[in-house]
């Protein structure tokens, strides 16, 4: 189905300056958009790109109205980035092909699992005994939801996700490790999205908990008994060890590693690639990354790093002398 500019405004609001009947053939960033594309300017920093853009129409904030009008058609919206996000949703709905069956016949759903209304479960998913899937939630394909785990409403779980595999717990004994059966489950609240091949382990005794609105990227590992606070975002390749408590509205960069049994306050941002070995009690941005360098320079600095403590002692001795 083709969309016209007016369809966006009719569905999403905003103030249209331009021809409502313009046919929109796609959404595109400012620099590659053409005369039949809808684009957006969310960051005033990119204003120079606005002027140069060939876009048929640009979504802008009220403060950019004049600048946008000087260029051509625009939709003025309070939050252009949210408006753009909703435009992608409108676009997707308008171009959706007829859906397949709500529950794919190859999915294996235990009769004792409980599915809410309008749940969609794709090919080769497995939903075990006692699991609960909330209304409107989508399990894309090859998703595993283990015994007694619960997923909230309107969640999206991408292919390969594993919810409720055993947490990693063993007691050492002279005869080798003795498995600690993981008797807890996983509870995921509403509006959570979980990326491909991500794993969230079931709790040892109590449950692992993911609160509402959390967004988790691909290939993330969340250990047993973690709690992830509402509206926290976790980027790809991140690992969170068991029994860590992450606050609400946190931003965890990609490939971060968070040790177990520690607490991160609300509104903490962790830079990608950082290793978090201690609790963090105050909001802010935290970082711990070895800066990349050409290999020869790195080798020299890394070698010196191993004497850093000695260097400090030598410096102290010099200071005393003077």
Q: How far apart are CA 85 and CA 77, in angstroms?
A: 12
Among 91, 115, 185, 207, binds its own copies (CB under 8 A): 91
The active-site residue out of 104, 224, 231, 249 is 224
Q: How far apart are CA 121 and CA 93, in angstroms?
A: 19
Among 27, 121, 189, 252, binds its own copies (CB under 8 A): 27
Phi, psi of 150 (to 5 degrees): -130, 140
User: Which of 31, 70 has the CB closer to its own copies?
Assistant: 31
231 flagged as catalytic: no
CB of 211 to its own copies, least distance (A): 11
122 binds its own copies (CB under 8 A): yes
152 binds its own copies (CB under 8 A): no
Q: How far apart are CA 38 and CA 34, in angstroms?
A: 8
Closest to 185 measured CA to CA, from 156, 165, 215, 169: 165
User: Which of 10, 289 has the CB closer to its own copies?
Assistant: 289
Q: Which residues 204-243 are close enough to bind its own copies by CB under 8 A?
A: 204-206, 212-213, 215, 217-219, 221, 223, 231, 233, 235-237, 239, 241
129 binds its own copies (CB under 8 A): yes
171 binds its own copies (CB under 8 A): yes
Among 142, 153, 208, 250, binds its own copies (CB under 8 A): 142
The burial of 133, by beta-carbon neighbours within 10 Å (0-12 exposed, 13-18 middle, 19 or more buried), is given as: buried
Query: SS3 for 84?
Result: helix
Residues 170, 178: contact at Cβ < 8 Å? yes
Residues 270, 255: contact at Cβ < 8 Å? no
Using the rule CB under 8 A, give the single segment among 3-11, 14-22, 65-73, 103-111 that binds its own copies: 103-111
Classify the C-alpha dihedral 138-140-271-89 as positive or negative.
negative
Count residues binding its own copies (CB under 8 A). 121
86 binds its own copies (CB under 8 A): yes
140 binds its own copies (CB under 8 A): yes
User: Which tokens hold the place of 267?
Assistant: 């509104």
261 binds its own copies (CB under 8 A): no
Q: How many CB atoms lie within 10 A of CB 252?
A: 27
Among 3, 12, 22, 28, binds its own copies (CB under 8 A): 28
| Residues with catalytic function | 224
């Amino acid at each position: 189905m083709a969309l016209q500019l007016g369809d966006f405004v009719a569905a999403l609001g905003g103030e249209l300056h331009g021809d409502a009947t313009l046919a929109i053939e796609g959404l595109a960033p400012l620099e590659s958009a053409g005369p039949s594309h809808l684009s957006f300017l969310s960051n005033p920093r990119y204003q120079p790109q606005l002027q140069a853009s060939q876009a048929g129409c640009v979504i802008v904030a009220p403060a950019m109205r004049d600048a946008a009008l000087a260029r051509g058609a625009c939709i003025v919206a309070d939050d252009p980035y949210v408006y753009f996000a909703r435009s992608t949703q409108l676009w997707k709905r308008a171009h959706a092909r007829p859906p397949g069956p709500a529950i794919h016949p190859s999915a294996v759903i235990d009769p004792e699992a409980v599915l809410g209304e309008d749940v969609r479960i794709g090919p080769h998913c497995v939903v075990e005994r006692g699991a609960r899937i909330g209304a409107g939630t989508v399990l894309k394909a090859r998703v595993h939801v283990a015994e007694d785990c619960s997923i909230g409403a309107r969640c999206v779980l991408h292919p390969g996700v594993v919810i409720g595999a055993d947490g990693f717990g063993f007691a050492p004994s002279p005869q080798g490790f003795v498995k600690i059966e993981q008797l807890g489950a996983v509870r995921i609240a509403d509006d959570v999205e979980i990326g491909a091949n991500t794993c969230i382990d079931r709790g040892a005794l109590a449950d692992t908990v993911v609160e509402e609105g959390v967004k988790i990227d691909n290939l993330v590992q969340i250990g047993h008994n973690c709690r992830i606070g509402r509206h926290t975002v976790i980027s790809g390749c991140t690992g969170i060890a068991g029994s860590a408590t992450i606050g609400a509205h946190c931003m965890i960069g990609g490939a971060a590693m968070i040790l177990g049994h520690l607490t991160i306050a609300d509104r903490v941002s962790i830079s990608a690639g950082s290793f978090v070995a201690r609790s963090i009690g105050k909001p802010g941005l935290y970082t711990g990354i070895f800066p990349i360098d050409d290999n020869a320079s790195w080798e020299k600095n890394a070698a010196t790093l191993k004497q850093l403590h000695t260097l400090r002692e030598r410096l102290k001795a010099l200071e005393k002398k003077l």
